Amino acid sequence: MLPQTEAMTQAWPAPAKLNLFLRVLGRRPDGYHELQTLFQILDWGDELRITVNDSGEITRCCDSNIIGAVIPESSDICIRAAKLLQARCSVTNGAHISLKKNIPVAAGLGGGSSDAATVLVALNKLWCCGLSQQQLARAGIELGADVPVFVLGHSAWAQGRGEKLQPVMLGAGHYLLIFPAFGISTAEVFEYAGLKRDSLPLEMTATRMRPGRNDCAAAALELYPELARIMQDLRAWGRPYMSGTGSTIFLRFDSRKPAINAASKLKCRYNVRAVGGIDRSPLLDRLSAGG
Ligand code: C5P
């Protein structure tokens, strides 16, 4: 195998997602919850550089203090994804993973899951494992409920734990993301006694392809009253929604200009970012570009 340097490798994108709506249909015997959600892929996210080598080792480095300082290698989802694929396909080669972390941690934007999906997709190619997209998605669910949608690489209507996916065309979307100064543990919200767990499933129709109720929001607002204050404050700009189990709040706009305008007005009070909704993940384009 030819030695590669990081400079030789093009970055692999790991986009963020929004849950435009999220319904909790019930608790499953395996402890997880049966969900129905609409995943919107975003045109913004993390970036990974991955070099393969013949050491057999999986190593990492990242430019973010958060990951390096707080997450030990053994629980780093990128390392776990690489090791999972290595074991599944009896790969003897190693890899070095370098992560540029833009997506906040514990923000409900699927950052860690997207990083893991990108590692699976990239190493499947670089190590010549030959797994199909479906096989990768099935491996991905072992790492996190949101991994399969990022392997699929398309905005999608989802059920089950989030792995029964139907790609959807949402068209261009314009969103303002508001990042509270704290993250929220997904497990904490799903374990909360007051979580509404009895929503009825919706039929997948054209009129449902937009933001709607998030059953986890009421629980997150009770656990983190500061979220309620932020949402109230944002009502002057439109209807605020929460993504996943939080903490990110988002507003949807019909075009980019009002989203940018709201961002410039709100940035003195909050950490905000105007982003675009896209149907096809840039990971698929990177995959077909090769290298
Ligand atoms: O799969 P992921 O790591 O994202 O899930 C984090 C936690 O959220 C799980 O341990 C589980 O407690 C909860 N969860 C759930 N039902 C889901 C997804 C996540 O109860 N569909």
Cα dihedral across residues 277, 282, 283, 284: positive or negative: positive
pLDDT at 124 over 70: yes
Residue 44, by phi and psi: left (phi above 0), alpha (psi -120 to 50) or beta? beta
Distance from the first to the final alpha carbon of the chain: 14
Ligand 1: distance of its center to the CA of 23 in Å? 14
Hey, which of 17, 109, 151, 190 would you mutate to test ligand 1's pocket, going by the most ligand atoms within 8 Å of its Cβ?
190
Across the range 272-281, mean pLDDT stands at: 98
The reply to whether ligand 1 has any atom less than 6 angstroms from the CB of 161 is yes
pLDDT value, residue 72:
84
Per the CB < 8 A criterion, the answer to whether 183 and 194 are in contact is no
The reply to whether ligand 1 has any atom less than 6 angstroms from the CB of 33 is yes
192-227: pLDDT as tens digits: 999 999 999 999 999 999 999 999 999 999 999 999
* Angle ∠(282,14,231) on CA atoms, nearest 5: 105
Ligand 1: distance of its center to the CA of 186 in Å? 6
Which residues are registered as beta bridge partners of 59? 96
Q: Which residues contact 163 (CB under 8 A, 6 or more apart)?
A: 137, 138, 141, 145, 148
pTM for the full model? 0.95
Ligand 1: distance of its center to the CA of 5 in Å? 36
Q: Whose CA is nearest to atom 8 of ligand 1?
A: 187
For the question of residue 146 being annotated catalytic, the response is yes
Domain count, the chain: 1
Picking from 159, 156, 153, 158, the residue whose alpha carbon sits closest to that of residue 170 is 156
Domain that holds residue 48: 1-291
Q: What is the CATH number of the domain that holds 152?
A: 3.30.230.10
pLDDT at 44 over 90: yes
State the chain's mean pLDDT as an integer.
94
Is it true that the peptide bond before 264 is cis, omega within 30 degrees of 0?
A: no
CA distances from 15 to 8, 96, 114, 135, 150 (A): 22, 20, 6, 21, 8
Across the range 84-88, mean pLDDT stands at: 98
pLDDT value, residue 64:
54
Q: What is d(CA 241, CA 20) in angstroms, rounded to the nearest whole number?
A: 8
Phi, psi of 167 (to 5 degrees): -60, 140
Per the CB < 8 A criterion, the answer to whether 140 and 117 are in contact is yes
The reply to whether ligand 1 has any atom less than 6 angstroms from the CB of 61 is no
- For ligand 1, what atom is nearest to the CA of residue 186? 8
The reply to whether ligand 1 has any atom less than 6 angstroms from the CB of 145 is yes
Residue identified by tokens 């007051």 is: 194
Where does the pLDDT of residue 5 fall: very low under 50, low under 70, confident under 90, or very high at 90 and above? Answer: low
Q: Whose CA is nearest to atom 21 of ligand 1?
A: 161
